[in-house]
Structure 1
């Protein structure tokens, strides 16, 4: 690499005073053209809509494909994301999938291909893929690393050109894998490339697990695509082959080895758009089944959105074919958190009387209410006895035994509970 250009770039990216002149980006762009070289199998790359980008004596390959907003990927039209964002804007409750004032154009649906599945420093990213939206189409932009020696150019062009869309990522396991890998590799070239941006992050794996883990054999993206999005890929390159195919490419430099992996990555990022639409629609509608509605309620409950959680639990109870203690008990607890114990009371009684799941827990809640709110030690003792009989939890029974001893001292001798 030409040391003069490298040192100038390092000075530019390490500067914190913001004093660079406006001419520097243009000068740097001109310098990138100086090291142009012949690209092995360039005609084959051009057939794949890929062009070389240079940085001194390094180069990477960038590929861009555009899709109409009317294009259907699985069960969803890609342009439906605009309607989803409008619906989120009308939702008053907070939620992890809520865009919070962002536009669809602010999202980058992002995925990587790597030389291995571990998170160590020896694992290299060789393909950065992103789908982003403009007002009239979806753009899929991919950056391919032709060899380890071009890593600075790889991250330089990705971070420079995608700066407009790295405001908020949407990934599938990206919080745990993809972006930590980017941060690790960026460390090695951080003085030669732009800084990593600050951004929000939708990790759709967590959302998929919450809604689908009880109904799908696995929450792998391929399974979710088939079972939820109605998408069946044809002639797809399996992900586990991607590292081996890249190493074959490094030996031969022929893109035929990697063409299937690039196509696989392209489909992955399109899937993320469809999946975000699907997940958002289900959350905004409050679920498509009682089980799903209950999980969405739990999600809102974790966000302390009590009204929305209560609405979901009411819907789960109303739409379930059979009475379900789990839904009823969840609703009772949310009502309690809202200081609506009078409304929660009949739900707790019904769970206790059913003598099934959560019956002991409901009896404990009733005992607490009788003792602390109604100051009725006799009834509190009665429900404590009931909870002790129903529970098989050793720790809970120990606590109940202490409660029994305390309450027995408050009860008038000879008092009947019948």
Structure 2
């Protein structure tokens, strides 16, 4: 207790840099654990790390770069990283930017609940890191709530600020939860680094939308990455198993939870490789090219969006052609926009209707051809009729207003 109070005093009275140094000088040596504690965790590749009268269990597992986990070997992360730097130079949510491969931290937590707030405790901080030698999984296991400072101290001690987190919904859940728990021990541990963050859940929803009905990590693994877990401990059992471990002290009670988390962070490596290949190569079939193009268009990379849409142009997919037309229009290539809208207008449904509206605008405002504008507006009205009962689709009022205006401008109008 005396050492803890001393650390708190130093943190409060010095600058952040000096405080960090003072913490490292405090009594944080790895004490010689009892034979009982050491042997309990030895079979699970864990060992205790101490911070004064607290400790955390640190577990490490090493894989070879040539090991295949699902669709890819871990070594392919280097190829994915190279593709980002060679093919896409603009800022993209998945781009590693100035981070090296070993700076990517594939991170996941296990908690006592799924709600935000102080009532939920993180009992396992896990991450995987790929270096030129191997893949190493690091796990910090909380032996009880009274040891939280030790867990965050040793976890943060290993993570310099230049690292970039790669998570699956970590931006909304895992890292905010880390911030919440860190506030309770912030005077005893290093400050939280300002990480860059790549959240693969959002990327999965964008690129896998045509193929998946559920975006849980397990579904993504099986359907897109060819990862099939056997004898996996379901995540919803983790809190119960952890509470049993805290009460009885037998590490074997959470061995399945450790394996589950280990597979989670390894899956993130595979998922990042797969998403990187798809984005950097701009897809291999129309639905994929459409989704990649939509993403490029959303972030303002219009030339790249155009290239993705053009790759699927020959398939005559109405949304793809319509979106190609909108990009041409944004880049003032009106002739090309008109052509794309023309082909899209041959389709039924929402995008055929929207393409007709765009053609009507072009003929009215760019070519001053009122009759052609009127024709495409009437065609849009016909295509909109079956859509009038579709929730969220509201074309009819706009089309009727356009029809009225064009009729008034028509030479034959009296």
By the TM > 0.5 criterion, same fold?
Answer: yes
- Aligned to 1:131, the other structure's residue is in SS state strand
Q: Distance in 1 between matches of 2:129 and 2:113?
A: 26
Q: CA deviation at 1:309?
A: 1.0
1:239 to 235, 238, 263: 235
Deviates more, 1:105-114 or 1:357-366: 357-366
- Aligned to 1:32, the other structure's residue is in SS state coil
Q: Does the CA-based 8 Å contact 2:106-2:166 persist in structure 1?
A: yes
Q: CA deviation at 1:41?
A: 3.8
Q: CA deviation at 1:342?
A: 0.3
Q: Distance in 1 between matches of 2:13 and 2:78?
A: 39
Q: How does 1:10-409 map to 2 (within 5 A)?
A: 10-14=8-12, 17=15, 20=18, 24=22, 27-28=25-26, 31-33=27-29, 38=34, 41-90=37-86, 91-163=88-160, 167-318=163-314, 320=315, 323-392=316-385, 393=388, 395-409=394-408
The 1:36/1:279 distance shift into structure 2, 3 A limit, reads same
Q: Distance in 2 between matches of 1:395 and 1:230?
A: 41
Q: CA deviation at 1:395?
A: 4.1
Q: CA deviation at 1:111?
A: 0.6
Q: Distance in 1 between matches of 2:49 and 2:108?
A: 20
Deviations 1:302-335 (A, max 9, x none): 11111111111111233x4xx3212211211111
- RMSD over aligned Cα, in angstroms? 2.3
Q: Does the CA-based 8 Å contact 2:293-2:305 persist in structure 1?
A: yes
Q: Distance in 2 between matches of 1:326 and 1:363?
A: 13
TM-score (norm 2): 0.91
Q: Distance in 1 between matches of 2:238 and 2:323?
A: 45
Q: Does the CA-based 8 Å contact 1:93-1:308 persist in structure 2?
A: no
Q: Does the CA-based 8 Å contact 2:344-2:355 persist in structure 1?
A: yes
Q: CA deviation at 1:222?
A: 1.6
Q: CA deviation at 1:350?
A: 2.2
Q: Does the CA-based 8 Å contact 1:40-1:254 persist in structure 2?
A: no
- Aligned to 2:245, the other structure's residue is in SS state helix
- Aligned to 2:92, the other structure's residue is in SS state coil
Ranges of 4+ aligned residues in structure 1 off by more than 3 Å: 11-19, 21-26, 33-41, 353-357, 392-395
- Runs of 5+ consecutive residues of structure 1 not aligned to the other structure: none
Q: CA deviation at 1:8?
A: 3.0
Q: Does the CA-based 8 Å contact 1:211-1:296 persist in structure 2?
A: yes
Q: Does the CA-based 8 Å contact 2:23-2:188 persist in structure 1?
A: no
The 1:292/1:153 distance shift into structure 2, 3 A limit, reads same
The 1:26/1:301 distance shift into structure 2, 3 A limit, reads closer
Q: CA deviation at 1:19?
A: 6.7
Q: Does the CA-based 8 Å contact 1:377-1:411 persist in structure 2?
A: yes
Q: Distance in 2 between matches of 1:50 and 1:387?
A: 67
Q: CA deviation at 1:277?
A: 0.7
Q: Distance in 2 between matches of 1:21 and 1:250?
A: 32
Q: CA deviation at 1:37?
A: 5.9
Q: Distance in 2 between matches of 1:34 and 1:85?
A: 36
Deviations 1:265-294 (A, max 9, x none): 111111111111111011112223321121
TM-score (norm 1): 0.91
Q: Does the CA-based 8 Å contact 2:109-2:261 persist in structure 1?
A: yes
Deviations 1:159-202 (A, max 9, x none): 112236x6210011111111111111111111211111111111
Q: Distance in 2 between matches of 1:238 and 1:379?
A: 61
Deviations 1:58-111 (A, max 9, x none): 111101122221111112111111121111111234321111121111111001
The 1:346/1:46 distance shift into structure 2, 3 A limit, reads same
